[in-house]
Amino acid sequence: MRPVTAGRRPCVVGVGETRYARWGGIPETSEYQLALSAIVGAVADAGLSMDDVDGLASFAEDRNEATFAAADLGLAELRYATLSWLPGGGGACAAVANAAMAVETGAAEVVVVYRSLCQGQFHRFGQGPGGRPPAGPARTPGLRKARTLLEAHVGFTMPFGMFSPPIAYAMVVQRHMHRFGTTEHQMGQVAVTTRAHAARNPRAVMGTRPMTMDDYLASRFVSEPFRLFDCCLETDGACAVVVTTSERALDLARTPIEIVGHAQGTPRGFGHGQYSNVSMPDDDYTSAGARTVADRLWASAGLGPADIDVAEIYDHFTGLVLLSLEDFGFCGRGEGGPLAASGALAWPDGALPTNTHGGSLSEAYIHGLNHVVEGVRQLRGESTCQVDGAETVLVTSAAGVPTSALVLGRP
Amino acid sequence: MTERWFPDEMPDPAVNAETIGWWQEAAAHRLVVQRCGDCRRTRHPPGPICPACRSTVAQWAEVPGTGVVFTYTVVRQAFIGCLADRIPYVVVAVELDGAGGARMVSNLVDIDPADVSIGMPVAVVWEDMGPELAIPRFRPAPTAETAEAGTKGAQR
């Protein structure tokens, strides 16, 4: 990202996390209170006061509104509050980018990006509207009124039993297998490698449970070709990151981590992604939907895939990690599987250590904002799978929906 | 009573101003896609405006109800309780004949999940869920061989 003014280059200066627990594992604290605790923790980590915070940023479908948070946190003044439209986990990096643009232009000085997700307190994320019919007396099936555009779109998927993201993205990977010969073992390599990284991470929900390829292959099918271990966790927890300018960062205790580049969006006709659109061109359908984002990201950062030391790739499903690797240019189209099978993603010896915290598959499912936190940790030299001398990290947000991505770097 | 594959408790389609017409056509067992009234491009799902020429004029164009499997999944987890005794079931994306490349999500029924493959020809079959709701599902399209067997069966 070319700076608007050099002194206002956007940096991440603080990160905060609550504990992460399995679905329903944090019944005593509300999802909203966890969000506020993560924000307070991130601001303290930055060495800032809550009085310094003048902006809040999040992304789609956030129940924890910034305006309430500003009041409850006692912010002196809220000068900037945005919610990225990118759905699901697609907007985590976009929210950081929005915060970066706010501090770069001077719209705000200190913006905190946050995500709290306690599926145990609400419902399975991505379980579509109408996915759980009410129990009760027999009724006559018919039409019902959609309350949102998304509801009307999934009106063309729910009646066919496509209730949940694993079903939709299993179809994407099935097509990818058909076109390119991607295999279950290649997907399994993502699951096994990510679990091994989690084993070193005390925050990781699955950290104490090792996984072999045999364990992976023995796990039950959810929606073929996806097994249980191809699917991310469902967890409770929250995290936050603090964004300010390079100038302000000079006064702070922690090494600032520069937001070197960012990009967000979709290609033409991608819509809400393969979850509700199966009519898009085949090359988009069998992608993570991030090819145009990748092109703009690399241009924004002035870097390319060969310059990246560590990758934190959104991993709601193993197969989609392979597609993201292709979209971001770490290999050619259809070569994501062989790349994973080569051991490239494994810390410490792989060419591109990936999801060094254990990802959503094995650390926690905080809609990928925890991937940003891990990127910062790598560049601070504090990861539990630390890549020696890491200077650049790619972070991606979601796949198969409108996406976003960041390049983080040491200044 | 027509054939039934899925229970009454399946989620009802949620509709809005742009999509209700599609479901009304379906209730009459007409499989349609939306066709732009100006540039004639087809699209599915239906929407309020043509993404190519921005015309807000559109018609329903009936398609033959045949196509090929573009991709599929065999669902082996019952995400809602009423499907506990219906798994596994097959969700497909069907590339519809005569629809300008438009595809739709549906189910493939009357087939062993192990026999499903990408590219196989399929044909629509209607499941009447209620007086105002019929769901287009698909079954393997009859080949010359199976059509002959069907004729013999009818003669017996």
B153 pLDDT band, cuts 50/70/90, is very low
Q: Where are the alpha helices (DSSP H) in A302-368?
A: 318-327, 336-341
Q: Given CB atoms, is A138 within the 8 Å cutoff of chain B? A: yes
User: Residue B54: inside a domain, yes or no?
Assistant: yes
The tokens describing A306, both together, are 């060969």
Rounded to whole angstroms, how far apart are CA atoms A264 and A229? 28
Give residues 235 to 294 of A whose Cβ lies within 8 Å of B.
269, 276-279, 285
pLDDT in tens, B26-63: 999 999 999 999 999 999 999 999 999 999 999 999 99
What residues in B contact A149, CB-CB < 8 Å? 16
DSSP code, position A330: S
Rounded to whole angstroms, how far apart are CA atoms B139 and B108? 5
Position B74 scores a pLDDT of 98
Instruction: Identify which has the larger pLDDT, A128 or A201.
Output: A201
The answer to whether A8 and A247 are in contact (CB under 8 A) is yes
Size of interface A-B (CB pairs under 8 A): 162
Q: Class of the A6-122+232-409 domain?
A: alpha beta
Q: Given CB atoms, is A306 within the 8 Å cutoff of chain B? A: no
Say which CATH number the domain at B31 has: 2.40.50.840
Provide the mean pLDDT of chain B: 92
Report, as an integer, the average pLDDT of A48-75: 97
Query: Inter-chain contact A224–B6, Cβ cutoff 8 Å?
Result: no
Residue numbers of A annotated as active site: 314, 365
Query: Inter-chain contact A132–B80, Cβ cutoff 8 Å?
Result: yes
What is the residue type of B12? Answer: D
Provide the mean pLDDT of chain A: 94
Q: Given CB atoms, is A139 within the 8 Å cutoff of chain B? A: yes
The answer to whether A17 and A114 are in contact (CB under 8 A) is no
pLDDT reading at A130 higher than 80: no
In chain B, whose CA is at the least distance from the CA of A124? B79
pLDDT reading at A138 higher than 80: no
pLDDT in tens, A191-205: 999 999 999 999 999
User: Residue B9: inside a domain, yes or no?
Assistant: no
Beta bridge partners of B137: B125
User: Residue B149: inside a domain, yes or no?
Assistant: no
Query: Inter-chain contact B80–A130, Cβ cutoff 8 Å?
Result: no
The answer to whether A103 and A96 are in contact (CB under 8 A) is no
pLDDT reading at A6 higher than 70: no
Rounded to whole angstroms, how far apart are CA atoms B49 and A320? 31
Instruction: Map tokens 């944090």 to a residue.
Output: A26
Rounded to whole angstroms, how far apart are CA atoms A73 and A264? 29
- Report the residue of B105, B109, B124 to disrupt the A interface, i.e. the one with the largest count of A CBs within 10 Å: B105
pLDDT reading at A129 higher than 60: no
ipTM score assigned to the predicted complex: 0.94
User: Residue B66: inside a domain, yes or no?
Assistant: yes
∠ CA A55-A396-A318, rounded to 5°: 135
Terminus-to-terminus CA distance in chain B, angstroms? 23
Distance from CA of B113 to the nearest CA of A (A): 10
The answer to whether B70 and B128 are in contact (CB under 8 A) is no
Range of the domain at B109: 20-142
Work out how many domains chain B is built from and give that number: 1
Instruction: Map tokens 């929005």 to a residue.
Output: A98
What percentage of chain A exceeds 90 in pLDDT?
Answer: 91
The answer to pTM > 0.90 is yes
The answer to whether A357 and A393 are in contact (CB under 8 A) is no
User: Residue B90: inside a domain, yes or no?
Assistant: yes
What counts of helices (H) and strands (E) characterise chain A?
Answer: 13, 13
